[in-house]
Amino acid sequence: MAIIYLVRHGKTDFIGKKLCGNLPGIHLNEEGREQAQKAADYLSNFPIKAIYSSPIERAFETAEIIGYQSSLQVYPADYLREIHFGDLQGKGEKDLLDHPLWKKFNTLPADVCFPNGESVVEVRNRVAKGLEILSHEFGKEDQLVCVAHSEVLRLAVCWLLDLPLDNFHRLTIDPASISKIEITPERKKLWLLNYRPI
């Protein structure tokens, strides 16, 4: 059982411009590295025992900055990787705006399955299972960091709070923001959502 800090990766040059998904070669920009450092400074105030990250570069780079500050190794965790958007991956903002599947993703995401990619339900299930298993590997008071992506972290919070998947877009997870959850046999609890260290 454990306390887990969920951290979104810092900014890249493509946020709001292109649907990056699982595309390789998307790195933090200068602002993103600064944001990651602020998250690292904040998290260094806690006795972090382990750091896990999506293997995708922008998340792993964020995790490495946190790990360097806390003198901890970063472990890749596939359950934290971004949604595989399949045929939509790599499309620009203008192409997405009028795409019927993207419109559905933004209104009724629970029913969406991306061709040659994943469904929203599959992503929720994999991140939930991963966090559940991870929590069982540690003691009740242990504090961990998991670095991932906006949609994945919102789906994790939906699972934690038993929120309908069609409501997950109501949650905000900003770049390099920190959310804090607790998973124990008695309960799943949200302590903090979308905190942005100054």
Mean pLDDT of all residues in 150-167: 96
CATH of region 2-195: 3.40.50.1240
Tell me phi and psi for residue 159, to 5 degrees: -60, -45
Q: What is the pLDDT of residue 1?
A: 74
Q: What is the pLDDT of residue 158?
A: 97
The active-site residue out of 9, 61, 149, 151 is 9
The answer to whether the predicted template modeling score (pTM) of the entire model surpasses 0.85 is yes
Q: Where are the alpha helices (DSSP H) in 1-149?
A: 30-43, 57-70, 93-97, 100-105, 120-136
> Buried b / exposed e across 142-172, counting CB within 10 Å, b at 16+?
bbbbbbbbbbbbbbbbbbbeeeebeebeebe
pLDDT band at 135 (very low <50, low <70, confident <90, very high): very high
Mean pLDDT of all residues in 73-95: 96
Q: What is the pLDDT of residue 161?
A: 96
Mean pLDDT of all residues in 81-104: 94
**Token digits for 19?**
């649907």
Spatial separation of the C-alpha atoms in residues 31 and 25, rounded to whole Å: 17
Please list, in sequence order, all residues whose beta carbon lies within 8 angstroms of the beta carbon of residue 37, skipping any fewer than 6 positions away. Answer: 65, 69
Please list, in sequence order, all residues whose beta carbon lies within 8 angstroms of the beta carbon of residue 62, skipping any fewer than 6 positions away. Answer: 7, 8, 9, 10, 28, 32, 36, 39, 53, 147, 176
The active-site residue out of 61, 64, 82, 182 is 82
Judge whether 31 and 163 are in contact, CB under 8 Å.
no
pLDDT one-digit tens code per residue, 39-78? 999 999 999 999 999 999 999 999 999 999 989 999 999 9
The mean pLDDT value of the chain amounts to 96
pLDDT one-digit tens code per residue, 7-45? 999 999 999 899 999 999 999 999 999 999 999 999 999
Comparison of pLDDT for 177 and 139, the residue scoring more: 177
Q: Could you give the percent of the chain with pLDDT greater than 90?
A: 91
- Is 82 among the residues known to form the active site? yes
Spatial separation of the C-alpha atoms in residues 183 and 170, rounded to whole Å: 22
Q: Which of 195, 197, 191 is nearest to 2 (CA)?
A: 191
Per domain, the residue ranges of the chain are 2-195
Mean pLDDT of all residues in 96-116: 95
Across-strand partners of 58? none
